[in-house]
Structures are given as structure tokens and as C-alpha cells.
Amino acid sequence: MPERIVTTDDVRLWSEDLGDPAGSPLLLIAGGNQSSQAWPREFVDLLTAEGLRVVRYDHRDTGRSTTRDFARHPYGYTELSRDPVAVLDAHGIGAAHVVAMSMGTVMGQLLALDHPERLLSLTLMLGGGLDVDFDGNIERAFNGQPSVDGLPLPQQPLLDALALMSEPAEGRDAVLDLRVRRSKLFSGDKVPFGADDFRRWEEQAADHAGTVEEPVAHHRLASHPRERAAELARVQVATQVIQALEDPISPPPHGSHLAGLIPGARLVEIPGMGHALPRSVHPPLAEAITAHIRTAARS
């Protein structure tokens, strides 16, 4: 499990390189306020078993990467989207297949616009189009206001999960219990959840970071550059969009809307999947990713 510290701008990013060093490279980009551990090792193992060289990393202000006072060291999606390029450089990878989830889908779209030569293929999952006002939609959902773009707003499980974050929790066990409860809300009840799995993954994430306190810096990011959505019409990278059919944050048809912004993008729907990665969705998710990679490699 080769670990590597990547220096970019004035921050240090923790990363690791898994699988066959000679395999086709795959970079995983996690969601907001998530470290590399948001990609469960059991899921990563399914990808490396296909011969892939998998690289995952901690976003700045998460895990073992540089953590600072955001007010004194602010940044935006432009800086965040330079980080995966720096990770590829540090690992000696010219171009890679990229899989991005949740907030990472914004970064994936910006990579396709600004660094297309670094992408062998792109998979976007659990997220929406660059033109979607995500922050505004959460506020509208809280206030009971209608959608302004015709797409569905975030649903009640997200609002419940955000409310859960304000509940008091003292001590490591109580905090981890709360985090598992939140993951259950995100995951939904259409597929087996696996509370023991999530408890173990949350423990691993806390141990990896050296603290049970969760990152919050990405909640303070300014809105992503929605004005750049029109540029997606010129993207030529082989793109796949994975729509989790029970995703409470970006419910259908957000996936098809995103796919429609990128020429030739393929939409894959995973029944029962919410905004989480329980073990029950690992096989279909890994199969969708590896199938897309194989297709892109042949083209």
C-alpha cells in the first residue's frame, strides 16, 4: 500500500496507490468533507481485482492532508480541481480513468473542461450537472419552496441528516453512532445497509484522520461555477453517469440531466442505491465502472 504525500499550492495531500502498478490507472475522487476512506477498501478491492491500479487521496482539509482555518486560508473549486492533477503528477500518471462522487462530480466536470488530456474516461456518480444550484436547492427544500430549474430538490432524508448533525454527541462512540445513523438516512431502505460495515468504516476514517471530529471546511466553499455548464457541450472524454435511483440528494432525473450535458455520455441506473456505498451496491457499481473502462479502452 504505497503512500505518497503530494504537494500542491501550499498544501500537502495524502494519497495511496493500490493494485497492480502496471494496471490501467484509476483515480477516485471522494465527496465533500470526505477523505480517501469514503471509498471502502472492500469496494476498492473489487476494482484492483480487475487489474486496475487504483489511487485514492484525501481532499485538503480531510484525513491526513493539510487542515487549516478556512477563513484564513480560503479556496474554491478551482483549487480543489487542481488537486487531482497534482496527485496524478506525483504518482507519475499521465492520464487516468477518473471516478468521482457527490461533490467530486463537480470536480470531475471541471477536470473534463480544463484537463481533458489527463482523463482516459470519466464516471460521475451521486451528483448533478454543473448548472444545478445545489446550495440554493437545499435552502429551497428546507423552506418548502419549489424547484426553479424543473429538477427535483433534495429529499427529506437529506434534511433529516443535516438536522442530525446538530444533535449533541459526547465521546467517540456517540459520535460514531451518529455518523452511522446519518449514513443510514443517506442509504435508504431499498438495499441492505450493513450497520456493522458502516461502523467499521467510520472507525477506520476516524483512525486514519487521527480524530473523530468530522471535517467541515467544504461546507464553506463558495458555489461552484455554474456559468461553465455550457462548456460541457464540447467535452470529448468518454463519460458515464451513474444514477442511484434512491439518492435523496440528487434524485432522478438528475443523472439523465447531467448525462445530457455531455455529448455521448452513458447513463447507468442502480436500483435501490442511495447516497452511500453499502456493501450491497459494491458489485453492480464496480461492474458499471469496469465495463465503462473496458469500453473506453477499446475506443
Interatomic CA distance for residues 42 and 297, integer angstroms: 25
Q: Tell me, what's the pLDDT at 299? A: 82
Domain count, the chain: 1
Q: Tell me, what's the pLDDT at 165? A: 80
pLDDT of the chain along its 299 residues, tens only?
589 999 998 999 999 999 999 999 999 999 999 999 999 999 999 999 999 999 999 999 999 999 999 999 999 999 999 999 999 999 999 999 999 999 999 999 999 999 999 999 999 999 999 999 999 999 999 999 999 999 999 999 999 998 888 888 889 999 999 999 999 999 999 999 999 999 999 999 999 999 999 999 999 999 999 999 999 999 999 999 999 999 999 999 999 999 999 999 999 999 999 999 999 999 999 999 999 999 999 98
In DSSP terms, 243 is beta-bridged to 269
Interatomic CA distance for residues 16 and 11, integer angstroms: 17
Residues in the chain: 299
How far CA 136 is from CA of 6, 24, 62, 129, 219, in Å, comes to 34, 39, 24, 14, 13
Whether residue 236 contacts residue 121, with contact meaning beta carbons closer than 8 Å, is answered with no
Q: Tell me, what's the pLDDT at 1? A: 56
Residue with cell 451513474: 242
Q: Tell me, what's the pLDDT at 231? A: 98
What does pTM read for this prediction?
Answer: 0.97
* Grid cell digits, residue 287: 461492474
Determine which helix (DSSP H) or strand (DSSP E) holds 55, and give its type and residue range: strand 53-57
CATH of the domain at 54: 3.40.50.1820
- Domain range enclosing 212: 3-298
**Radius of gyration of the CA atoms of the chain, in A:** 18
Catalytic residues, which ones? 102, 247, 275
